[in-house]
Chains A and B, each alone.
Chain A
Amino acid sequence: MSGDVIVIGGGTAGMETSGQLANAGCMVTLVEKEEQTGGHINNWYHLFPDRRNGSEVIDYLNNKINSDNITLLKGITIDHIEKHKNRFIVKTNQGKELNADAIIIATGFDLFRSERKEEYGYGIYDNVITSVDLEMKFRSGSLKMNNGESPKRIGIVHCVGSRDEKTGNLYCSKLCCVTAVKQAIEIKEYLPDSRVFCFYMDMRMGGALYEELYMESQEKYGVNFIRGKVSEVGESINHSLIIKVEDTLVGRPLKMELDMLVLMAGMEMSEGGRKIAEMSSLKTGENRFFQGRDNHFGSNLSNIDGVFYAGTCTAPMNITETISHARSAVSEVLDYLKVFRK
């Protein structure tokens, strides 16, 4: 198989598609806006459900794109896309013009900016952090508060920017529940004497081994799960956090003092993806992610022939799903090239 393909986005989906296409004989130009490929996994220490080190996935993906058929352009964004007689002309922010027979959009997701949920005080109260901040703490090997002390009572808020009409995100980000469970267990391993409280709306543990992890977090680690949404966060005179939440199973409001609060930030259409949608008339759905041509049979197909989607630019996915989606995108591209390069 021959053909020129531009892959936009050098995260999990973009790297996987690039590697697979290169193996199939295509010439691939992989464009990444950052100076480093790997996307969000770079910020993750351990992955669920088996606590694999995130660097192992990065190593796998780097190995995948180590091919003579792949040209990697880093620190580059796309300014313009046009189609002319089954060939795509793509202009970069550095004035470079790229040509290809097909394009794969793999622009991924952005984490919800937790400061938008103003009531949680992220960016204002020192010990309100996000799930990514916590991964960074795990990676540094030190789980401390800003004053250098170890937290004794830690809260985890699920669904921050997900299933939330106020922020315009009605969808479930899918990964936050299991991330919360994984991180709760890790907190207990770091600080066995600490108490961890997860505040959830529903526990959506719909992946392989997720439910088992949830049970283990309760039975082995004693993590407390409270069904209710945190309504506000404040600070006491000694700088501990005061949260208000309704325990909907007991049917009573709770006020609780915590040392640290971790916000499970949801997933949103990336800024880069949004710009590409605007410049290219690619359709987006109600959730603002790219909309595939068919929910069941065409999630890799865009409304423009020759432009394909891979990974979390279409919806929240875990790494396993992202890699599967990337591979199915490659299959669609190869079928397309067979027809158009005859």
Chain B
Amino acid sequence: MNSEGKKRIWSDYQKEIADDHFFYVRSCIRQSFFPGSEQFFLNLMRNILGKDVYENPAHTTCTGIGYHSDIVPSATIMTVIARHFALMKESGYKNIAVSCVTSFGLYTEILETWKHFPEELAKTREYLFKATGREFDIPENVAHSSDIIYKFRNEIALKAKNLLVNIKTGEPLRIVEHIGCHYAKMFPKSGLGGAEFPNVLSGMAEAWGGEVIDYPERRHCCGFGFRQYLVQANRGYSVSNTAKKFTSMKPYKPDMVLTNCPGCNMFMDKWQYTIKEMEGETYGENGDSIPILTYEELAGLVLGFSPWDLGLQYHMVQSEPLLRKLGIEFDSTDKFKTKDGRQMPVPQNLINS
């Protein structure tokens, strides 16, 4: 494989990412399934990188899951997203930072729709004004929060406490990256590095000392695929897609999977448990499963934050094998304790722990 060829492609897919003053919009499911990620993003941006990031409590879901399952019509979702832009205008911000890949895909899709069909933009302005009395501006800059961490990846590397290196072997950790379909597949120009050989996550992994694995089913769906999962009768497709992907990456012995999209993280995490229960199959080394981390969680580990403050314990596949490789000290009994030391209920059947 020729890495110069990849660099040529990456140079075609660079985009402007604002440097400061972000209006941050959270994801519905990220807050539920790996809540430490968004919290750490805010901590990183505000307290470590010294950036201004604002959240408006009136922000809502983008209704993306409803849209992709044919429940929410396009006029509705355009109006909901227009309301987000109105909140941003009212808050005095022009740069939007989007936490969720599904939402990011929708923001880019809707902005592109308005560019080509200005009558749709006019209708949306009218709907929003009639419904809420609000008006909005088109954002000056739209970035996924992974774009922003990519932008500051070298600053993070300079502050690193734990590089992505196996402390026993001295070798770089082998990392599978998965950007999620809606980040760049619809509009390759909106993703760093494009859709075929994306750079947003691989750039972070390499800047922090890891080695990225290219395996045959790298581009394959994580298994979510919306209707594959949302329609109960289709869930066999969902699991089989995940199994296909993991079977393909297994020979490369990945140490972890780095994800961009909440759906991908959730399904690649939880279906490993399901497949283990159904088939007894695991995909990591020594019978372990492969930890699936978000880019914020990985940035947090690199910067030396406690894995439990980052929320790694809320994944189905526990991260202990990865933490040991990185040489990060941890106390597993602290996993489910509150900040003031009270013990919370401990989930059953966590794997890798």
Identify the A interface with B (CB < 8 A).
Answer: 115, 118-119, 121-126, 232, 234-237, 242
Question: Can you list, as one digit per residue, whether each of B25-69 has a CB less than 8 Å from chain A (1) or not (0)?
Answer: 000000000000000000000000000000000000000000000
Question: Do B1 and A235 touch (CB < 8 A)?
Answer: yes
**B251 CB–A CB distance under 8 Å:** yes
Max chain A C-beta neighbours (<10 A), residue from B5, B197, B217: B5
Query: Contact between B196 and A118 (Cβ–Cβ < 8 Å)?
Result: yes
Q: Is the interface of B mostly helix, strand, loop or mixed?
A: loop
* Alpha-carbon distance A121/B197, docked complex (angstroms): 9
Q: Select A124's contact among B5, B219, B251, beta carbons within 8 Å.
A: B5
Known contacts A118-B194, A118-B197: A124-B2 contact under CB 8 Å: yes
Closest B residue by C-beta to A123 = B5
Question: Is B123 interfacial (CB 8 A cutoff)?
Answer: no
Answer whether residue B226 sits at the interface, using C-beta atoms and an 8 A cutoff: no
Q: Within the complex, which residue of B2, B195, B215, B218 is in contact with A237, where a contact is CB–CB below 8 Å?
A: B215
Give the docked Cα–Cα distance between A220 and B243 (Å).
42
Q: How far is the CB of B243 from chain A (nearest CB, A)?
A: 15
Chain B positions near chain A (C-beta within 8 angstroms): 1-2, 4-6, 8-9, 194-197, 214-219, 251-252
Query: How many Å from the CB of B312 to the closest CB on chain A?
Result: 29
Cβ of B215: which chain A residues have Cβ within 8 Å of it? 234, 237
Give the nearest-CB partner of A118 in chain B: B196
- In the complex the two chains form, what is the Cα distance from A322 to B303 in whole Å? 64
Query: What's the Cα separation between A236 and B216 when bound, in Å?
Result: 6
Contacts A115-B8, A124-B2 given; does A234 touch B219 at CB 8 Å = yes
Shortest distance from the beta carbon of B190 to any chain A beta carbon, whole Å: 15
Chain A CB within 10 Å — which of B4, B194, B195, B215 has the most?
Answer: B215
A248 to chain B, nearest CB (A): 21
Question: Which of B8, B215, B216, B252 has the most chain A CB within a 10 Å cutoff?
Answer: B216
B6 / chain A contacts, CB cutoff of 8 Å = 124
Which residues of B have CB within 8 Å of A237?
215, 251-252
Contact check, A232 vs B219: say whether CB atoms are below 8 A apart: yes
**A118-B196, A234-B215 given; A123·B252 CB < 8 A:** no
Q: How far is the CB of B185 from chain A (nearest CB, A)?
A: 11
Q: Please tell me if the beta carbons of A124 and B217 are within 8 angstroms of each other in the complex.
A: no
Complex interface: chain B residues within 8 A of A125 (CB): 1-2
> Besides A115-B8, A118-B197, A119-B196, 4 other CB < 8 A contacts?
A124-B9, A125-B1, A235-B216, A236-B216
Question: What residues of B have a CB within 8 angstroms of the CB of A234 in the complex?
Answer: 214-219
CB contacts (< 8 Å) of B217 on chain A: these are 234
Closest chain-B Cβ to A310's Cβ sits at a distance in Å of 34
Knowing A234-B214, A237-B215, A242-B216, say if A115 contacts B5 (CB, 8 Å): yes
7 closest cross-chain pairs (CB), A and B: A123-B5, A124-B5, A118-B196, A242-B216, A234-B216, A237-B251, A119-B196
CA distance A124 to B195 in the complex (A): 15
What residue in chain A is nearest B196 (Cβ atoms)? Answer: A118
Rounded to whole angstroms, the CA-CA distance of A124 and B5 in the bound complex is: 5
Known: A115-B8, A237-B251, A237-B252. A126 touches B2 (CB 8 A): yes
| Distance in angstroms between the alpha carbons of A232 and B217 in the assembled complex | 10
12 A-B pairs within 8 Å (CB atoms) are namely A115-B5, A115-B8, A115-B9, A118-B196, A118-B197, A121-B5, A124-B197, A125-B1, A234-B214, A234-B217, A235-B216, A242-B216
CA of A234 to CA of B1, assembled, Å: 10
